[in-house]
Amino acid sequence: MQISCIIFLGGMISVLDIRVKKKIGTLDMDISFTMERPLITVVFGRSGSGKTTLANIIAGLLSPDIGMIRFEDSVYCDTEKRIDISADKRGIGYVFQEHRLFPHLNVKDNLTFGRFPGGRKSKTDFSKIVDLLKIGHLLERYPDTLSGGEAQRAAIGRALFACTSFMIMDEPLSSLDLRLKNELIPYIALIPENFSFPMIYITHSSEEVKKLAGMVALINSGKLVSYDVPDKVYDQSGLRPFAA
């Protein structure tokens, strides 16, 4: 059975519709939901629940068996119509668990490199990104001289500069200690209101849900358990049974 959850919030506009099915090994994914702008939707679930698989399908790094992904007026994927736009043409700013900065490029060149895949023309001002993330003093430095938090801020900046549609962050804080996590969360929270990019934020941390989520997509074994505002998800399902 396919689960469909479509919600409407005052002042919000539906921009991202996702309906996908994918079977990989023992994972049988069947997930549908609609995101709004501006908003952070946190995809929450334990390890192996399908969070990263879902992110990679949305980003175009993996194709669904059956499904449709639409952003505003653009159809990124429609298996029925045999449409599957390549990842570099979707304009998604993707932040991975590891920073994945190019070691031979300084921070400034890493930031601007993101606009080249797919011939993207950035929608964001370079100086605004630098100021928001407070990385101006890092621009001439190389990745091997950065702390974990500095490197991940640079990776977020690169994704922002490349983004022309929406952001995906796949557990970007998982490799950091608690101090660095708490340091980075405020920067992430500021992105939608400053750049008007909706964001899918993937985590198995209930603390990150509490601090970042506008909406929560709670998934388990490839299925959508609940999609609602955080308080209602806590009331209806709770998070503890689905945590890592």
pLDDT in tens, 165-211: 999 999 999 888 888 899 899 999 989 888 888 999 999 888 899 89
What pLDDT score does 102 carry?
Answer: 92
CA distance 190 to 33: 23
What pLDDT score does 29 carry?
Answer: 96
226-236 per-position pLDDT tens digit? 999 988 887 77
pTM exceeds 0.85:
yes
Q: Are the C-beta atoms of residues 91 and 122 closer than 8 Å to each other?
A: no
CA distance 216 to 206: 11
Residue 22's pLDDT band, with cuts at 50, 70 and 90, is: very high
With tokens 């209602």, the residue in question is: 232
b/e for 95-124, b at 16 or more Cβ within 10 A? Answer: bbeebebeeeebbbebbbebbeebebebeb
124-141 per-position pLDDT tens digit? 888 999 999 999 999 999
